[in-house]
Structure 1
Amino acid sequence: MDTAPLLFLSHGSPMLALIESPAHRFLQQLGASLPRPRAIVVVSAHWQSISGPSVSLASAPPTIYDFGGFPPALSEIVYPAPGAPGLASDVAAQIEQAGFAVRRHETRGLDHGAWVPLAIMYPDADIPVFQVSLIHGAGPREHERLGRALASLRTQGVMIVGSGSLTHNLYEFFGQPIESPAPEWVTQFADWMHERIARNDREAVLAYREQAPFAARNHPTEEHLLPLFVAMGAAGDGSRAQRIHQSYEYGVLAMDAYAFS
């Protein structure tokens, strides 16, 4: 079986599911352009567990509406993809073998970091999906190590998706239109990250908090960038990353997407 895709996707606002935009159109064509995976595991910015990662084992994961203040139409979307409890259970054991304390969650559904991009990529919802959580309080290096524990899934036909946002400061959102231009403090950070991701300068990317311009301003908290490090870890040391999409939404959200070889 061919190696399954490994992606980092910026999911931006939940409104990505409803609003036509460059990022929405990109995701529409992305699913059709990729080899069909046996299953998909999503590591989303919107699920964190204390002391170690959690793995979702639900056979029919419900659609989670973990947001507020959006149009009712957004909460009417249902993404009824099946779960993959047997595979997820095996993955939980695999992560434990890598030295993590793992929790198993029998009923947890798909948060919007998972279902929003997948509903655009795979609207038929016919590919099994499960999630692995981030580790609350852990940084880039621990999440890269988590990614390494997932790496072998790709040879089993399982697509790995890290779903976050290359920039994510909603404190400076200010309700601007989706087409608002990005300020320099956003573009400089995004450009810095791209240059180092593209040349596989892992040490610099892992130390982005200290080295990248405006790092803390773009990520007051780290959860939306941590899925990138999971993807990097799953890719392995000799990998290469290709930026497959770049756009900005609402000025402050860099919607970059990467595929790892």
Structure 2
Amino acid sequence: MTHDSQTAAPLRQPVLFIPHGGGPCFFMDWPKTWDNMAAYLRGISQTLPQKPDAILIVSGHWETPTPTLTAASNPPLIYDYHGFPPHTYHLQYPAPGAPALAAAIAQRLTDAGITATTDPTRGWDHGVFIPLMVAFEKADIPVIELSLQEKLDPAFHIRMGQALTPLRDENVLIIGAGMSYHNLRHFMADTPDAAYEAERFDTWLAHAACLPEQERNAALTQWHTAPTARFCHPREEHLLPLMVVAGAAGPDQGHRTYSEAVMGKALSGFTFGFPFGQGT
């Protein structure tokens, strides 16, 4: 990103792993269930050193053979949820895209040995526009979505994040949007065993994400060996945005900035790069 020579250089942006909720949950009459998560998302902008020039977001809802970045000037929305009220299929998030920046990021990844490309037609899935509608409701910051690589290799996604680290010094906010617990079969069910399994994995994850860089990345690479890992993530696509974020964090310390049991299942969010946030 370029800045006026008369202005101070931007401060380094943190990187975030946030929960994106369940479908369009924040825009439904669902009393109190998602209120705390919405409040957390709504407060994110206040934890940043300055308003970002752009947001680069990785969602658990887009997988491709080659890492791909949205490159439309005005990306459409993809309502990739099912069985919700009609009004939720008319939600709008008119933030602009950033085609030139998307191309530059693809080149940055390719230069780092990770072949990447852009897609000038692909829109934003609900893992992008739903949380951003809450966190950055003015829709006045350009947004680029980056896909997961379909092999879902955690080490690859950490390395991808490492190649993106310099963007933080260019006032780009990097966000991973997923869920730290994503067993949909049990999420809506009031089952004590599922709550116990979720709490065990969440405890491990909160520790692993806050370790020093090398230990953190080693632990996250082997996430599947953690207690109850495969129960909480039968498929890991909603956890992998955390791997990208951890890679982009570099040596910055992780802090758990969101912690709550939703429908009895423990969930967490993390921020790397302080002192701009508050965490545990």
TM bucket (normalised to shorter chain) is over 0.9
1:17 deviates by 2.4
CA RMSD of superposed structures (Å): 1.8
Q: 2:22 corresponds to which residue?
A: 13
1:208 deviates by 1.4
Distance 1:170 1:231 in 2: 23
Aligned pairs for 1:1-261 within 5 A: 1-18=10-27, 19=30, 20-34=34-48, 35-50=50-65, 52-174=66-188, 183-200=195-212, 201-202=215-216, 203-210=218-225, 212-236=226-250, 238-252=251-265, 254-261=266-273
Q: TM-score, normalised by structure 1?
A: 0.92
Distance 1:98 1:235 in 2: 17
Tell me the SS of whatever aligns to 1:61: coil
1:32 deviates by 3.4
- 1:60-119 Cα offsets, whole Å, 9 max, x none, are 011110111112222121001000111111001111111122232001111111111110
CA contact (8 A) 1:181 1:251 kept: no
Residues 197-206 or 111-120, more deviating: 197-206
1:11 deviates by 1.2
1:155 deviates by 0.5
**Letter in structure 1 aligned against 2:140:** D
Structure 1's unaligned 5+ residue stretches are none
**Letter in structure 2 aligned against 1:196:** A
CA contact (8 A) 1:8 1:161 kept: yes
CA contact (8 A) 2:152 2:240 kept: no
Report the number of matched residues. Answer: 255
Percent of aligned positions that are identical: 37
Distance 1:56 1:24 in 2: 26
Tell me the SS of whatever aligns to 2:52: coil
Q: TM-score, normalised by structure 2?
A: 0.86
- 1:199-233 Cα offsets, whole Å, 9 max, x none, are 233212221102x1110010000100000000000
